[in-house]
Amino acid sequence: MNAENQVLAIDAGNTSLKVGHFVKGQLSEVRRFSINSLDDLCTWSSDLGTTKTVISSVLSEKDTEAISSLFPSSMFVSSQTALPVQLRYGSEETLGIDRICNACFMAMNSQTLNTVTIDIGTCVKFDLVHKNDGYLGGSIAPGVALRYKSLNDYTGNLPLLSNKSPTPLVGNDTNSSIQSGVINGIQAEIQQMIELYREQFEDLTFFVTGGDASFFEIHSKNDIFADENLTVKGLFEIYRHNA
């Protein structure tokens, strides 16, 4: 395979490294690696033979340097990187790289005037891009794990849970009551936020992504699309814009 036609897009998130292998501009494969399995990432990338890499990271400086040492000629993405979308955000230096990548994907791929990503992972994030005005901002709320942890951390007796499966509205013991509050609460929050966006913005499309997105039922309509690899694809759009 011609290495010139290949690009690795590495999204180093809080829970894992999600790596997209692009061939001739198309996503060919996605793999996940932990920060402790960088040797496996190195072996896989060497077997592919690609030398072009774009990286975004929300990890510590030490872990980010460990990744960059494997790909010394990589392009690192930040809010200062040239982007295919204008950022209209009051504190660009604090804007998460994942939100930037999602915005870039929306700007380059949506056909409607307004587009929203719903990214359900460590946090539940809504982000809005206007086709002409660029990235306008959004909202951030705690995700599943953070809500479970806060209930355990800030109470004396509530246990720490991790279950993400659907649950009845009415819990019949403490564990199921906590699970209902967290899972059904996020479900209701997402649905209501979607309705608020529909009320305030015309010609609207939603993209749903994130590691926990599959645990929630987001009613399928013509304006809602699921793409678990949206952030990686947005990272590649940034690479292509700068190439």
Tens digits of residue pLDDT in 110-168:
999 999 999 999 899 999 999 999 999 999 999 999 999 999 999 999 999 999 999 99
Residue 11 designated active-site? no
Per DSSP bridges, beta strands 17-23 and 26-33 are: antiparallel
In sequence order, the 6+-apart residues with CB closer than 8 A to the CB of 90 are none
Cα 242 from chain centroid (whole Å):
21
Answer whether 171's CB lies under 8 Å from 177's CB.
yes
Q: What is the CA radius of gyration of the chain?
A: 19
For position 2, what pLDDT does the model report?
Answer: 53
Instruction: With a cut of 90, say whether residue 243 has pLDDT above it.
Output: no
Whole-angstrom distance, CA of residue 44 vs CA of residue 70? 12
Q: Which domains does the chain have, with CATH numbers?
A: 3-76 (3.30.420.40), 111-143+177-242 (3.30.420.40)
In sequence order, the 6+-apart residues with CB closer than 8 A to the CB of 7 are 21, 22, 50, 52, 53, 54, 236, 239
Tens digits of residue pLDDT in 42-59:
999 988 887 799 999 988
For position 93, what pLDDT does the model report?
Answer: 87
pTM: 0.89
The 10 Å Cβ neighbour count of residue 15 is 12
Tell the burial category of 107 from Cβ atoms under 10 Å away from its Cβ (0-12, 13-18, 19+).
buried
Q: Which runs of E-coded beta strand occur in the chain?
A: 6-12, 17-23, 26-33, 53-57, 75-76, 114-120, 123-130, 134-142, 204-209, 224-226
Answer whether 116's CB lies under 8 Å from 197's CB.
yes
The 10 Å Cβ neighbour count of residue 101 is 27
For position 3, what pLDDT does the model report?
Answer: 54
Answer whether 15's CB lies under 8 Å from 61's CB.
no
Catalytic residue among 98, 119, 127, 212: 98
Tens digits of residue pLDDT in 188-239:
999 999 999 999 999 999 999 998 999 998 876 778 999 999 999 999 999 9
